[in-house]
Amino acid sequence: MESMAATLAEILNSRSTGRAVVMGVLNVTPDSFSDGGQFPDARTAVAHAERMLAAGADAIDIGAESTRPGSQRVAATDQIERLREVLPAVARTGTVVSIDTTSSEVAEFALDAGAAMVNDVSAGRDDDLLLPLVAERGAAVVLMHMLGEPSNMQRNPAYDDVVVEVCGFLRQRLAAAVAAGVDADRVILDVGIGFGKLLEHNLALLANLHDVFALGRCVLVGPSRKRFIGELTGQTDPRMRLPGTLAAVLAARAAGATIFRVHDVAETVQALTVADAIAEKGRRDG
């Protein structure tokens, strides 16, 4: 991996260049599944963002509404209030800021305050105004697959073929974004690990990422501290799932993924640096 943080253009070109991009998670929420309440004010939140940037993050993904299983919706006005001081301060560092929201009202505030990317777990389905807003502002957008919504997504999720169905959904949402005026080159796809998926579904998606790459867009993978790691290892504390997270990141990297949304930035950067150096040496010698 390169030591300099990526620009938005470099992130969006990562599928072509192969550059690994690390997106640090910053939740300014009281109830996120592994770090809720840890950053209760602008000072602590911005300090954490700065630590992640110093550790090698290429982008910071800021969320003001938890999307953990069973979570309830947060009003746009409340999300904006949580973001009001934090997001502009992080944007002033010059890093690429992503806003994790399904609301066009929140996204508009964030884009006005310096965000360059919208990370929408509903892939534009929750708010019909979001994709046109992204198009109008020339922003980038992450479209993620989720079965149902956070409040009910883990109630017996079922698929006939999870890989085929997730790829079909992402293909449709990519088409919807383009129809709304979004440049296809500014779309990133996310299979939604842990969002309406059982252990077997998460493993199948991670094992078959090549089918997602066939859609022709950058792929973001977000396995960080997720429940499936605990199901495999017996580790009930999300904060203790770093080794499993790194294993999932490196497996996805070997399959060709380029963007990784994680809580533990320094460890992920180090793991990717070593893995990429080994892979590059193999390419040169081969």
- Alpha-carbon distance 237 to 12, whole Å? 33
The region that residue 159 occupies, defined by phi over 0 for left and psi between -120 and 50 for alpha, beta otherwise, is beta
In CATH, what class is 13-285?
alpha beta
pTM: 0.93
Whether 197 is catalytic: no
155 or 221, greater pLDDT: 221
pLDDT per residue as tens digits for the range 18-54: 999 999 999 998 754 455 557 768 889 899 999 999 9
Residue with tokens 């990297």: 253
Q: What is the mean pLDDT of residues 246-251?
A: 98
Res. 100: pLDDT tops 50: yes
Residue with tokens 């777990």: 121
Instruction: Please tell me the predicted confidence (pLDDT) of residue 5.
Output: 81
Choose, from 173, 217, 226, 241, the residue flagged as catalytic.
Answer: 226
Comparing C-alpha atoms, which of 77, 67, 2 is closest to residue 31? 67
The region that residue 285 occupies, defined by phi over 0 for left and psi between -120 and 50 for alpha, beta otherwise, is alpha
Whether 226 is catalytic: yes
Instruction: Please tell me the predicted confidence (pLDDT) of residue 33.
Output: 47
Instruction: Please tell me the predicted confidence (pLDDT) of residue 71.
Output: 61
